[in-house]
Amino acid sequence: MGKKILDKPFVKVEPELCKGCGLCIDACPTEVLKFHTKFNSKGYHYAFYLGDNCTGCGVCFYACPEPEAIVVYKKGYEYTGEEVA
């Protein structure tokens, strides 16, 4: 099971841990985050990654008040497959 190296940055929002405050969306310089039209089980419109153009700058991670709603994978990140799925 070989490790793979991420060749482009990636942001992952955990829908169930997002409170829909929108701070990440407001913070993102490349505007790649958006409210989902769906609600999570808590009743929040959660944020999600549009799927392209994340620069891995990490400002959304620090704008987000939640400990694990957002994970930012930067270019060069070594992964086995699962977490970036």
Partner 1 sequence: MASKVLQKANSFYDQYFRNPSADKKMPHYCPGCGHGNVHKFIAEALDDFEVADKTIFISPVGCSVFAYYYFDTGNIQAAHGRAPAVATGIKRAHPHSIVISYQGDGDLAAIGTAEILHAANRGENITVFFINNAIYGMTGGQMAPTTLIEQRTTTSPRGRNPHNEGYPVKVAELISQLQAPVYVERVALFDNKQRAKARIAVRKAIKNQVENLGFSLVEILSPCPSGWKMDPVDSMKWIRDVMLPQFPLGVYKDLTKEVKPYEVPEFAPSAKEIKELIDIVPDSNKKFKKSKVIEKYINPEIKVAGFGGQGVLLLGAALAQAGMLEDYHVSWLPSYGPEMRGGTANCHVNVRNIPVGSPVVSNPTVLIALNRPSLEKFEQDVEKDGLIIFDSSLIDLDVKRKDVEALPLPATQLADKLGNTRTANMITLAAYAAYTGLFSKETLYETLKTAIKRRVLIDINKKAIDVGYEFGLTHRKN
Binding site for partner 1 (CB under 8 A): 6, 16-17, 19-23, 26-27, 29, 42, 44, 58-59, 61-68, 70-78
Q: Based on CB atoms, which residue is closest to partner 1, 36 or 63?
A: 63
Long-range contacts of 72-78 (CB under 8 A, 24+ apart): 72/9, 72/10, 72/11, 72/12, 73/6, 73/9, 73/10, 73/11, 73/12, 74/6, 74/9, 75/6, 75/7, 75/8, 75/9, 76/5, 76/6, 77/5, 77/6, 78/3, 78/4, 78/5, 78/6
Q: Based on CB atoms, which residue is closest to partner 1, 51 or 67?
A: 67
Q: Based on CB atoms, which residue is closest to partner 1, 36 or 58?
A: 58
